[in-house]
Structure 1
Amino acid sequence: MKWNFLVMCGLSLSVMGCAGSGDDSPSASVAGDSTYLASIEPTDALPIGKARESAQDEESVTVVGVIGGSHDPFVDGLAAFTVVDPEVPFCSAEEGCPTPWDYCCTQDQVKNNIATVKLVDENGKPLAADARKLLNVKELSTVVVEGKASKDEAGNLTVSASKVFVRSGDK
């Protein structure tokens, strides 16, 4: 039994040691890890729509958004999700929308007011974790995200997040 324990420890250390430089695979993280949760709401957060217009690649940004934009805004296997500008209204059950976070009645407004948020480790690698568990969030939670912006040719914004503040009542 001691031998199995030592072998497992050795394997764990060797895997951890190899995950560093040049490896683009997601970084593992423990669910409930508060490393990425900000305890104080950052100031001067830009709504997603304005951030999409003004943010430059590799620029530090602080954005505010509502988790949603599709039927399933969370990315399986990664601590990543989409957020929509808080100014875009989400739909209600009375409007025939059983999943209000998919913005089914306002999708025309979503396309220019949506961004992807991915939590990254200190090396910029995406975290292999469930964002819902890691941050204690769900669809329609309002979050304030600090990180680095990147934009593609179509103007789509991705924020590689180092900190996320979850507005109270939105967990």
Structure 2
Amino acid sequence: MQHFSSKHIVAIVAITIFSFTVACDKAAPNAANPVAQNAGSTALPANLLVTEQPTGAMGVIEARTAAKTGDRVAVIGRIGGSRAPFVSSRAIFTIVDQSMKSCIETGEEEHCPRPWDYCCEDKKELAKSMASIEISDANGKPLALALETEGTFRPLMLIAVEGTLQSTEGGSFVVRAEHVYKVANDPLASKIK
């Protein structure tokens, strides 16, 4: 028979109480609480993907210098910029200006297991070349959707995003996407795994 010290018992009780507190903190979805109903949304909005590139789409670097919070913007770039460009369990990801080159584009993909992290680019320049894209519900909250496993988007995919610039504080550049166009005839498409 195994004996537990008082420290073990206190730790087990604390973990159990914490687990119940976290579980009970979530609002139950009902007709009076539509936010709770939308929080578990697992599908992209039906009108998100479009078949034509947004008019006037500009690179991320150009958009970062030209746009301000609240502006409608259309930006084009490749999904990437880090080892994990998709935020887990939220419909948020990063894109990189096309002037930045992944290891696939430089012909150095052999040494790089994740060419979408742009490891061969200068980190400071890369940071100035990135934008965060969020796909939100009707209440403006990012969808609770793991895009990495959902399948619509992949690292290094060239896309154009049309939406509203949310924030530029602290060097961030966040676009709330209303429409996303997957660029046709992407020269890297055949190399993207």
Bin for the TM-score computed over the shorter chain: 0.7 to 0.9
Q: What corresponds to 2:66 in structure 1?
A: 54
Q: Distance in 2 between matches of 1:17 and 1:165?
A: 35
Between structures 1 and 2, the one with greater strand share: 1
How many residue pairs match? The answer is 157
Q: Which amino acid aligns with 1:55?
A: A
Q: What corresponds to 1:91 in structure 2?
A: 103
- Cα pair 2:54 2:74 within 8 Å, conserved: yes
- Cα pair 2:78 2:157 within 8 Å, conserved: yes
Q: Distance in 2 between matches of 1:32 and 1:120?
A: 9
Q: Highest Rg: 1 or 2?
A: 2
Partner of residue 136 from structure 2, selected from 120, 124, 127:
120
Partner of residue 129 from structure 1, selected from 129, 135, 145:
145
Give the CA RMSD over aligned residues: 2.7
Matching of residue 19 in structure 1 with residue 31 in structure 2: no
Q: CA deviation at 1:155?
A: 2.4
Partner of residue 56 from structure 2, selected from 44, 58, 67:
44
Q: Distance in 2 between matches of 1:134 and 1:51?
A: 28
Shift of the 159–135 alpha-carbon distance from structure 1 to 2, 3 Å rule, reads: farther
Cα deviation digits, residues 28-76 of structure 1 (max 9, x gap): 3334653311122212101001111111111111111100000010001
Give the stretch that moved more between structures: 70-79 or 129-138: 129-138
- Cα pair 2:167 2:173 within 8 Å, conserved: yes
- SS of equivalent to 1:35: coil
- SS of equivalent to 2:64: helix
Q: What corresponds to 2:166 in structure 1?
A: 150
TM-score, reference length from structure 1:
0.79
**Greater RCO (Cα-Cα under 8 Å, separation 6 or more):** 1
- SS of equivalent to 1:127: coil
Q: Distance in 2 between matches of 1:155 and 1:45?
A: 21
Q: Distance in 2 between matches of 1:57 and 1:17?
A: 32
Q: Distance in 1 between matches of 2:137 and 2:127?
A: 28
TM-score, reference length from structure 2:
0.71
- Cα pair 1:116 1:159 within 8 Å, conserved: yes
Between structures 1 and 2, the one with greater helix share: 2
Sequence identity (%): 33
Q: Which amino acid aligns with 1:56?
A: K
Q: Distance in 2 between matches of 1:19 and 1:126?
A: 15
Q: What corresponds to 2:77 in structure 1?
A: 65
Shift of the 162–100 alpha-carbon distance from structure 1 to 2, 3 Å rule, reads: same
Q: Distance in 2 between matches of 1:158 and 1:13?
A: 29
Q: Which runs of 5+ in 2 are unaligned?
A: 1-27
Q: Distance in 2 between matches of 1:138 and 1:112?
A: 22
Cα deviation digits, residues 132-169 of structure 1 (max 9, x gap): 46571100001111111023332210001111111235
Q: Distance in 2 between matches of 1:57 and 1:32?
A: 24
